[in-house]
Amino acid sequence: TVRAIDNFRVTEVKVSIYDAADALIESGLAILSANNLDWVYETTSLNTNLAGTKITAEAKDTPGSTTLETIIL
């Protein structure tokens, strides 16, 4: 779950997941939840080694500006 807040309306959140070697495991668009604040992304690929996994969320707002947030497990 990604919580994306902006002065303008967030229109899209793209989630990308990379392994510890920085190889892309999967990427896709999150779905806006019923509270109109949280975006939910469900993985589709198995990642057996979570240590060092990098998850990036890129939020886009109405004017088309983007913000990127990355966490490493």
Q: Which amino acid is at 50?
A: L
26-65 pLDDT, tens digit per residue, is 999 999 999 988 999 999 998 889 999 999 999 999 998 9
Helix (H) or strand (E) holding 53: none
Identify which of 21, 71, 17 has the alpha carbon closest to the alpha carbon of residue 44: 17
Task: Give the pLDDT confidence score for residue 7 in this predicted structure.
Answer: 62
Give the other-Cβ count within 10 Å of 10's Cβ. Answer: 19
